[in-house]
Amino acid sequence: MRKATFLLTTLALLALLTAPTLAASPVVRGVMFYADGCGHCESVIKNTLPPLQAKYGGQLQIAMVEVSAEADYQYFRQIEDQYKVPTELRGVPALFIGDQLLVGDRQIPAELPKLIEKHLAAGGVDYPALPGLAERLGVKVGGTAACAPATPCTDTPAQTPQTLKSVKFSAVPVAAAASGEPAAEKAPVATGFELAWGVMELLILALLYALISAALAGSGHPAPVGPGWGWKLIPVLAVIGLGVALYLTYVETQNVAAVCGPVGDCNSVQASPYARLFGVLPVGLLGALGYVAILAAWAVWRFTDGELSRLAPVALLGMSLFGVLFSIYLTYLELFVIQAVCIWCLSSAVVQATLLGLSVGPAVQMIAGEDETDDEET
């Protein structure tokens, strides 16, 4: 009888001691920023998070914040600025959990499981106290202080934020940080800002050259016309530009990351809302259409007769002028808004500047009423 009493008492004490733990399972909460269609984001969301969600169930709650819209992207950039995230680690997918930031489809799978175990052992962790997060998610945020071991983080949010199951994808690339390597282990990355400034200066010089030449020709003064053989380079440059534009169109419309090389961070640029005009038309596709139009105008000029042939050089100048103005706008965005440089975009900008310079001569001759001598150009 004494043995039975002792056993029952022991079991009762054990039940009392373990009841709080069983009743209040700790919860780990985090926030992941992603871009709709980002290939690396999709990899994390489809391949990394579901097995962890299946393993931990309600003890793992990841709120999803989509950043393709300009306002959401700027909000994400403000958080990156506030936390002084290094340039080489900026971009999506970015997972804030506790006081740590995991970036990319390498770092998140490698480190998230250990972080979950660590926080569960410590009693859980609440959503990070990021500025403006509570209003966006409709939940209370408290950071690590809200989940001490003695008071596990188990409160149910007042509202349900967007979760893993509600995420759907279409298409956008990702940031250079998608490699996900910690900053200490990552090789230095050339930002490309110096190169972008050089390209910006080239674009402005080409624009000034075109405007001054057109103004001189229109007022009857002699204007520079460039080399006579320059017309031969126009289709070559247009084909090069078309190749770049088609590649960017492929990146922007398919779930792939661009090959960026050692300079700049073209994937951050492609992940930004500015990669699509009015949120719909991929900028790369717009460029491709422009280069096709330039090739068509050049062919009309060189291989046809009549009024269209005479007007084609002016059309070439107009399209090249628009291309340079748009390239100035895009380069400005890279330098001052997106704060990342795309080497493909800069290559296209150089092509546009050169095309404008070569288009000035034929257009000036037409404006001045000069007859072309075909085989001064051969």
- What is the per-residue pLDDT across 22-57, written as a single tens digit (0 to 9) for each? 445 899 998 888 876 566 777 888 888 988 988 888
Sheet with 100-103, strands from edge to edge, namely: 60-66, 28-34, 94-97, 100-103
**pTM for this one?**
0.58
- Is residue 374 situated within a structural domain? no
Residue 38 forms part of a structural domain:
yes
Q: Are residues 137 and 223 in the same domain?
A: no
Question: Do 210 and 169 fall into the same domain?
Answer: no
Looking at the fold, whether 164 and 55 belong to one and the same domain comes out as yes
CB atoms within 10 A of CB 151: 13
Instruction: Answer for the pair 247, 253: CB distance below 8 angstroms, yes or no.
Output: no
User: What's the CATH code of the domain at 241?
Assistant: 1.20.1440.130
The whole domain housing 165 covers 21-185
Please indicate, yes or no, whether residues 276 and 169 belong to a single structural domain of this protein: no
User: Would you state the pLDDT for residue 354?
Assistant: 95
The stretches in the chain having pLDDT less than 70 are 1-24, 36-39, 70, 87-89, 138-190, 223-226, 255-256, 368-378
Q: What is the CATH number of the domain that holds 53?
A: 3.40.30.10
DSSP string for 176-238: GGGG---GGGSPP-B--HHHHHHHHHHHHHHHHHHHHHHHHHHTT-------TTGGGHHHHHH
Q: Which of 160, 185, 210 is the last residue of a domain?
A: 185
- 201 and 349 in one domain? yes
Rounded to whole angstroms, the Cα distance separating 314 from 360 reads 8
- DSSP output for 241-268: HHHHHHHHHHHHHTT------SBS-HHH
For 248, phi then psi, to 5°, come to -65, -35
pLDDT at 371: 44
270/340 same-domain check: yes
Q: Are residues 158 and 199 in the same domain?
A: no
Same domain, residue pair 173 and 209:
no
Residue 5 located in a structural domain: no
CA–CA dist 341, 347 (Å, integer): 11
pLDDT number for residue 176: 31
User: Same structural domain for residues 253 and 351?
Assistant: yes
| CA proximity to 356, closest of 202, 204, 207, 197 | 207
Give the pLDDT score at 89. Answer: 66
Q: Are residues 218 and 348 in the same domain?
A: yes
